Each structure stands twice: as C-alpha cells, then as structure tokens.
Amino acid sequence: MHLTIFLAINITLMYSAPLIFGALGATISERSGVINLAIEGMMTIGAFIGVLIAYRTGNPWLGFLSAGIAGGALALLLAVSAVSFKANQTVAGIALNFIGPGLALFLSRIFFDGAVMTRQVPRRLPRVFDIIRIPSFENSRYFTILNVDVTSVIAILLMVLLWFFLYKTKWGLRVNAVGEHPAAADTLGINVYLVRYLSVVVSGIFAGFGGAAVTLAIVSNFNPDSISGQGFIAIAAVIFGKWKPHGAFLACLLFGFAQALVFLISANTSFAVPSQLLRMLPYVLTILVLILFVGRSQAPKAAGKPYEKGVR
C-alpha cells in the first residue's frame, strides 16, 4: 500500500512537470495580455530540439537549454504577429501549433535519416531526491520509493519564482498592469509592446522546457506523439488555476495524477478496463474542468486585445 502511494507521487510529479512548464508559460503571456494558444507547438519543437542537441553532444542539460531557446524562437513569431502586426491571437496561435510539429518532423527527417522518430539520447536528465529508502531482502540492497525527476524540481522552483515575480516585484506588477489596462500603463511610462514581447518570448522558453521534460526525462527520444495534447491540457490548467501561477500548478498536479492513475490501473491486473478508455481519462478530465470552470475564471481584461498607442 505504501509503495503504491509513493509510486503514485513519483508518477504524478513526473507527468506534471511538462504541464507545469507549459502552464507557467501560458500564465505569464496571458498576464501581459497576449493569449498563447501555441503552447502545444512550442512544447513540440522544444521536445525535438532538446533530443537533437542531447543526442549530438551527449549532454542532456545542453539539450534542455536548447529546447527553451527553440520554444522562445517560435514564441517570437507569435509576438511579432500579435503585438507588432496586431493579428488575431487565436488564429496566430493555432497556426503556430501546425508550424511547430511540422518543423519538428521536417528536421527529424533531415537529422535522423528520414525517420520521424529520433534515436535514444545517450544520457537522460537525472533523477534526484532519494528521500526514503527501504531494504530489499531479495538482493540485500536498498530500494528507493520516493525518487523525483530533476525537471519536477525545476518546475516547482519556477512556479515559486514566477509567483514572486508577478506579485512582489516592480516588473511583475508592470506585466499585470499591461494585461489589465495597457492604456493606463502606457500613460505611466510603461512600454506596453516591450513587456508583451518579453512575456511571450519567456512563455515560449518555459514551453520549450516542458517539451524537453517529456523527451529528456520521461521517454528519452522524440516521436510525433511525444507531446500529444499536453500543451492544451496546460492551457486548461491555467483557466482552472484562474491565471495564477500557484493555481495553475495545483491544476497540473491534478492532471498529472490522472495520468498516474491511468498507469496504476493499467498495471493492476484485477481491473479489466480497456487501455483505450484509460488513456482517455486525462483528456476527459480536461474537458470537464473547462466545462465547470471556464465561466467562473476571469481572464486578464486586455487578454486577446491588440494594443494601439493613443487609442482608448
């Protein structure tokens, strides 16, 4: 029983980490007034670039950082279209969700001899926190029952840092002001365009980290189904969490637990549940959350509205 609980914690944190990165990215972007529906595409390009660099260099940390840069580069396209050219943010985000996976598959065919599935990376990101160890009587060694991916630790630290930034620092308050009343922020000397540009690019960096958390800490390679809707689940977590870092974090833990539950039920032979139905559970939960909470959560007032200087 205790082993099952600790296993559920391990799996929940492992599957929550990519969602947390994506949700934090969506949070800071939408707090500045730019709706980022391209989290899925940014996570996908980050997932591929992370594997590519880790495979070529043998260093998963370089892959992880490169994934963030790749996600930020794709986010820059969103910033240019939504902030500079004042394009419809929803349409721009959907377009990037096609560009990100398409570019990842195109590059995969170039660098991996025409294959859309990459080779295994030689080294994965490490696991940390061997918190509790019990003797294993079979081989006189110790068995770790609480072992957490380093990406989970980084994700939690980023959540705390983003909360502190948004609510306790001058720059964070400027981001909130731009997302609520950009015209009023402009009159106070805040560069609305710069704040939005930086927020969107940072959101892409976080999403890229989320993609790398999948391919460098969970599956060790990239394939077309590596992300498979996790970017959209992260956006749902932002709505569920009321556009707050800590709220989105808790929502991601809920979705991560749903995925852990799928794993635990699948591993239990006493439950004769079709695997296809089990794999639907996280997505069904996402739909239910959106139905129940989308009308109750209040987005930043200027989210999705292009800002034109001098127009009230």
Residue 170 belongs to domain with CATH number? 1.10.3470
| pLDDT of residue 142 exceeding 50 | no
Write out the residue range of the structural domain in which residue 193 sits: 2-293
pLDDT band of 137, cuts 50, 70, 90: very low
Specify whether the CB–CB gap between 230 and 214 falls below 8 A. yes
**Structural domain includes residue 310:** no
**Structural domain includes residue 246:** yes
pLDDT band of 279, cuts 50, 70, 90: confident
Query: Once rounded to an integer, what is the mean pLDDT over residues 288-303?
Result: 79
**Structural domain includes residue 299:** no
**Structural domain includes residue 148:** yes
Q: How far apart are CA 180 and CA 307, in angstroms?
A: 11
Q: Provide the domain count of the chain.
A: 1
pTM, 2 dp: 0.92
| pLDDT of residue 62 exceeding 50 | yes
**Structural domain includes residue 305:** no
Specify whether the CB–CB gap between 209 and 21 falls below 8 A. yes
| pLDDT of residue 84 exceeding 80 | yes
**Structural domain includes residue 301:** no
**Structural domain includes residue 116:** yes
Q: How far apart are CA 177 and CA 262, in angstroms?
A: 41
**Structural domain includes residue 69:** yes
Res 130: pLDDT: 54
- Average pLDDT in the chain: 88
Kindly state the tokens that stand for 112.
């991996």
Res 205: pLDDT: 98
